[in-house]
Amino acid sequence: MKFTVAQLNYHIGNFNRNKELICNAITKAKAEGSDLIIFSELCIPGYPPLDLLDRLDFIAKCSQSVNEIAKECTGITAIIGSPTLNKNAEGKKLFNSALVLAEGEIIFSANKALLPTYDIFDEYRYFEPENRFSLFTFKGLKLAITICEDLWDEQPFDNEFEKSRLYTVSPMEELAKQSPDIIINISASPFSYSKTEAKEKIFRSKAVKYQIPVISVNQTGANTELIFDGASIIVNKKGEVFKQLPFFEEAVETFSFEELLTGTIAVNIAKPTAIPLIHKALVTGIRDYFTKTGFKSSIIGLSGGIDSAICLCLAAEALGNENVRALLMPSRYSSAHSVTDAVALAKALNVRYDIVSIEKPFNAFEEELAPLFEGKERDITEENIQARIRAVLLMAVSNKQGCILLNTSNKSEAAVGYGTLYGDMAGGLSVIGDVYKTDIYRLADYINRNREIIPANTITKMPSAELRPDQLDSDSLPDYTTLDTILYQYIELQKPAQRIIDEGSDPETVYKVIKLINFNEYKRYQAPPVLRISSKAFGAGRRMPLVFYLF
């Protein structure tokens, strides 16, 4: 007896495309003699559908798609994820359901019980939690069908404030009382470079705890800022990895129930390290953002610095060099090597580039504003004017050529507000806004692993915005190693200032950095969506008031 794991890339609300993906996988599974095919959580509408779930026509489309897919399930059984109506008189109007389809009908359903409301998740906003649990019997096997969080009731958290057991009920504990033979978990779990090992550990520990195999099917691809790594995993009852599907790729693979149940075959999986995964995640995020929005080409302001260089490399890989263009916009403060480095990179990638000096418009602004600024010293105002001139030029090309402006600010800069609102913070998508500066350098080394693409000088020179004579980032900020250490502890781990200080950081630096983080929330509120590769990215997963008193 065989089962198939279908790890696919869904498009939110694109019901015809999603249905086609699912039906093609069913056809392939049938051809391979599979008895059961398993898809991921909410695969029918795509994840996360957010407030589209409030639309009756959207839910009706989901139901229609389910019925049409059920007709394809002849001689094979499928497990799919879809919202379904809650027919009870009380509670939320929807369930997040795993539906079992066979011979043209829905023959079983399991509803999600644990509805996360942390980080980017807000599932209790839409769904009613299930409180009854039963197994599905399939050809003599008793299957415990769970949905994502239902199997993660004991997951570890990054900060000590969170409990190790977040929920008061354990769906798997309830299902275990009925003696299942296999655990099936369908999920839509976003990528986080710090969570890949923790996710695997959850599945392995559950298999060992209940002494039964675990099949977990995750989606891949990206939807807006969320990137899904796939990496669907099958674990035998000993907690050994039987098979793991690739990261960030679609895959439809068929396996034997007998081999899994006997537990005799375990595969030694090579563990990818963080930087290659981050690189692949960002390429996936860019590619799917453009594919799913219908845009094809992008533009990047190329400064000769490492951040814009990384973004250009990622965009060229994701979209093809013919769909990426660079605009170099030197000023009186730009060093000669910044221009030559930027040109060298554009040529190495075979990307079209244009050079437009900002000197004339900057002079015009200075002249027109001189009467208003009389008696005032030059300060950050003139620096911001230059950044905003560049944004105007980039957006002009974007409008005229129909290409999306990619933002090049990194997470370290965004955290402390080291950027100009309506200037270098402009863009339709923030490519590296969830990547700390210290990891930017690691990404550069990875991109150059086979040959020099990013010029060595771009990597080794001291970071500078080049908006005033001899300017360096270190004039305004601690060195990036120190800064990123504090940022990670305060943002990801949510440690209080005193705890960070007690663990060895300089008190004055800690309080300065935290003040900058909180003061600049208003800037991040107006920033473009950020591709998420961590467990706490700026955007939907970190909700802070703009006006609050820092206790």
- Mind listing the pLDDT tens digit for each residue in 221-267? 999 999 999 999 999 999 999 999 999 999 999 999 998 988 666 56
Is the pLDDT confidence value at 546 over 90? no
Q: What is the pLDDT of residue 223?
A: 96
Give the separation between CA 57 and CA 125, rounded to whole angstroms.
Answer: 19
Active-site choice (112, 292, 437, 536): 112
Active-site choice (62, 73, 148, 311): 148
Strands 233-235 and 214-218: antiparallel
* 458 plus 514 within the same structural domain: no
Q: What is the pLDDT of residue 24?
A: 98
* 305 plus 394 within the same structural domain: yes
pLDDT tens-digit map of 428-438 = 999 999 999 99
Amino acid at 440: I
User: Residue 402's domain is classified under what CATH number?
Assistant: 3.40.50.620
**Residue 542 domain-assigned?**
no
Give the separation between CA 82 and CA 44, rounded to whole angstroms.
Answer: 5
Tell me the residue range of the domain where 515 lies. 478-519
* 230 plus 103 within the same structural domain: yes
Number of domains in the chain: 3
Active-site choice (41, 128, 225, 492): 41
* 62 plus 191 within the same structural domain: yes
Give the separation between CA 479 and CA 473, rounded to whole angstroms.
Answer: 8
**Residue 300 domain-assigned?**
yes
Residue 271 confidence class, pLDDT cut points 50, 70, 90: confident
**Residue 535 domain-assigned?**
no
**Residue 524 domain-assigned?**
no
Average pLDDT over residues 505-511: 95
Give the separation between CA 381 and CA 365, rounded to whole angstroms.
Answer: 11
* 515 plus 421 within the same structural domain: no
Q: What is the pLDDT of residue 338?
A: 87
The question of whether 313 is a catalytic residue gets the answer no
* 331 plus 282 within the same structural domain: yes
Q: What is the pLDDT of residue 284?
A: 98
The question of whether 148 is a catalytic residue gets the answer yes
* 306 plus 248 within the same structural domain: no
Sheet holding 233-235, edge to edge: 136-138, 141-147, 182-187, 214-218, 233-235, 241-244
User: Residue 37's domain is classified under what CATH number?
Assistant: 3.60.110.10
Average pLDDT over residues 524-545: 93
In percent, how much of the chain has pLDDT > 70? 96
Q: What is the pLDDT of residue 468?
A: 75
Q: What is the pTM of this model?
A: 0.94
Among 228, 250, 272, where does a domain finish? 272
**Residue 309 domain-assigned?**
yes
**Max mean pLDDT range (159-163, 373-377, 405-409):** 405-409
pLDDT tens-digit map of 278-328 = 999 999 999 999 999 999 999 999 999 999 999 999 999 999 999 999 999
Give me the numbers of helices (H) and strands (E) for the chain, helices first please.
17, 19
Is the pLDDT confidence value at 335 over 90? no
- First-residue to last-residue Cα distance in the chain: 61
Q: What is the pLDDT of residue 334?
A: 79
Q: What is the pLDDT of residue 160?
A: 57
CB 73, CB 102: distance < 8 Å: yes
- 454 sits in the region (left: phi over 0; alpha: psi -120 to 50; else beta) called beta
**Tokens linked to 363:** 């002079």
The question of whether 377 is a catalytic residue gets the answer no
The one-character DSSP state at 474 is G
How confident is the prediction for the chain on average, in pLDDT?
A: 93
**Residue 231 domain-assigned?**
yes
* 353 plus 221 within the same structural domain: no
* 465 plus 487 within the same structural domain: no
Among 238, 272, 306, where does a domain finish? 272
Is the pLDDT confidence value at 179 over 90? yes
* 179 plus 54 within the same structural domain: yes
* 503 plus 426 within the same structural domain: no
Residue 208 confidence class, pLDDT cut points 50, 70, 90: very high
* 79 plus 220 within the same structural domain: yes
Question: Per mean pLDDT, which range of 100-109, 330-339, 373-382, 461-470 is the poorest?
Answer: 461-470
**Residue 538 domain-assigned?**
no
Question: Per mean pLDDT, which range of 8-12, 418-422, 475-479 is the poorest?
Answer: 475-479
Among 473, 491, 511, where does a domain finish? 473
**Residue 543 domain-assigned?**
no
Is the pLDDT confidence value at 550 over 90? no
Q: What is the pLDDT of residue 453?
A: 96
CB 144, CB 176: distance < 8 Å: yes
Is the pLDDT confidence value at 367 over 80? yes
- DSSP-assigned states of every residue in 334-351: --HHHHHHHHHHHHHHT-
Within 8 A by CB and 6+ apart from 120, the residues are 48, 190, 226, 532, 537, 539, 540, 541
